[in-house]
């Protein structure tokens, strides 16, 4: 109970600056991009010609690319799970403090919501996708939830989001580059815009952890190490297809991403190294005994992960997803 109260006190202290946080890391709604900015306009006579052009460009994208793009889209569409998981974190109080961390969570969710909307409309118009199968996987992912091992701990939750937002940025940034390589400039721009949002969100969550380290360094260090010991799982780790088992298709989605170089084990290591550097883990002093042990574990982690990653072999054969026509 004492630890819980201390975390709530820290969160309340940080929430005093909520106006500054929102203004720094989120874009005003009236000036932000919306999915319709990048898609054919059904109210115009040119709509069907634009859809044909979109579909022609979509035919040039390889099979694994579609697997990754759809998997990314389903991940984005499972936003209700991510919002609800943050709303129950210690220090987030929608009822009594709606303008505190609950305000951030709502506003962050509102920006993220555009991502799934945009990708969903694109894959629907592309003509390459079995939308019933995709929609079934999406409903399953939301219904199944996820298990990211953060409990209701804000320190662990913000470690997870700091890591995951950067991982998502990398994935969308690389799907943008690959789309451009295949001559699909419109899709490239869509993915790049989403990636830019994810980078801003990563910087926000990373700054929250930086502030917590300044106030409660030992507990923050222990929480960081605890999260890394159990591995940062991807939010779509329960991904499945129609009539499939929970998590049954996630491995195939991950394999496709690794074959394309969209998100790899090396990226996981590089994100870890970046967070260690940005949070000044190596030079932090004045820690408790358990926190010093956690610090030592964290500094040894990249080398250990590198040894493990070097042993992993990605299957070369493509899996036949029900999502792709």
Whether 198 sits among the annotated catalytic residues: the reply is yes
Q: Residue 55: helix, strand or coil by DSSP?
A: helix
Phi-psi region of 240 (alpha: psi -120 to 50; beta: other; left: phi over 0): beta
Distance in angstroms (rounded) separating the CA atoms of residues 20 and 9: 19
Residue 197 bears catalytic tag? yes
214 is catalytic: no
The DSSP line for 159-226 is HHHHHHHHHHHHHHHHHHHHHHHTT-HHHHHHHHHHHHHHHHHHHHHHHHHHHHHHH-HHHHHHHHHH
Q: Which of 13, 33, 109, 111 is catalytic?
A: 33
The answer to whether the CB of 241 falls within 8 A of the CB of 249 is yes
Catalytic status, residue 323: no
Task: Say whether 33 is catalytic.
Answer: yes
Catalytic residue among 72, 150, 175, 201: 201
Report the chain's C-alpha Rg in angstroms.
20
Of residues 66, 72, 75, 76, which has the active-site annotation? 76
Q: Which listed residue (64, 72, 117, 165) is catalytic?
A: 165
Tell me the Ramachandran region of residue 127: left when phi exceeds 0, alpha when psi lies from -120 to 50, beta otherwise.
left
Catalytic residue (one of 72, 112, 216, 267): 112
Respond yes or no: is residue 97 known to be catalytic.
no
Which member of 168, 175, 255, 267 is catalytic? 168
Rounded to whole angstroms, how far apart are CA atoms 171 and 192?
10
First CA to last CA distance, the chain: 53
Q: Active site includes 309?
A: no
108 assigned to active site = no
Assign 3-class secondary structure to 278-289. HCCCCCCCCCCH
Buried b (16+ CB within 10 A) or exposed e, 296-324: ebbeebeeebeeeeeeeeeeeeeeebbbb
| Catalytic member of 153, 198, 219, 255 | 198
Name residues whose C-beta falls within 8 Å of residue 152's C-beta, 6 or more positions apart in sequence: 88, 89, 90
Q: Which of 101, 105, 108, 115 is catalytic?
A: 115
Active-site residue (options: 72, 197, 219, 267): 197
**Is 306 marked active-site?**
no
Active-site positions read: 33, 76, 112, 115, 165, 168, 197-198, 201
């Amino acid at each position: 109970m004492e630890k819980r109260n201390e975390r709530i006190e820290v969160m309340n202290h940080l929430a005093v600056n909520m106006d500054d946080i929102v203004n720094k890391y989120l874009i005003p709604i009236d000036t932000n991009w919306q999915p319709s900015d990048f898609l054919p306009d059904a109210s115009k006579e040119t709509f069907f010609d634009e859809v044909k052009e979109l579909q022609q460009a979509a035919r040039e994208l390889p099979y694994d690319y579609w697997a990754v793009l759809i998997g990314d889209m389903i991940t984005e569409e499972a936003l209700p799970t991510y919002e609800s998981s943050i709303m129950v974190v210690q220090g987030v109080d929608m009822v009594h403090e709606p303008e505190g961390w609950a305000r951030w969570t709502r506003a962050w969710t509102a920006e993220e919501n555009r991502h799934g909307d945009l990708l969903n409309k694109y894959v629907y118009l592309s003509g390459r996708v079995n939308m019933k199968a995709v929609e079934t996987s999406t409903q399953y992912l939301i219904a199944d939830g996820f298990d990211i091992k953060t409990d209701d701990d804000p320190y662990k939750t913000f470690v997870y989001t700091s890591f995951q937002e950067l991982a998502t940025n990398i994935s969308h940034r690389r799907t943008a580059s690959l789309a451009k390589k295949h001559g699909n400039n419109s899709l490239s721009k869509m993915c790049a815009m989403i990636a830019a949002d994810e980078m801003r969100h990563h910087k926000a969550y990373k700054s929250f952890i930086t502030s917590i380290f300044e106030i409660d360094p030992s507990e923050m260090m222990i929480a960081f190490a605890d999260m890394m010991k159990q591995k940062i799982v991807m939010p779509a780790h329960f991904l499945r297809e129609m009539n499939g088992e929970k998590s049954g298709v996630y491995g195939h989605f991950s394999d496709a991403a690794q074959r394309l170089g969209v998100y790899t084990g090396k990226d996981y290591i590089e994100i870890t190294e970046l967070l260690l550097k940005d949070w000044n883990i190596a030079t932090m002093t004045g820690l408790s005994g358990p926190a010093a042990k956690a610090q030592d574990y964290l500094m040894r982690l990249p080398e250990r992960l590198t040894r493990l990653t070097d042993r992993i072999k990605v299957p070369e054969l493509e899996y036949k997803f029900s999502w792709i026509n």
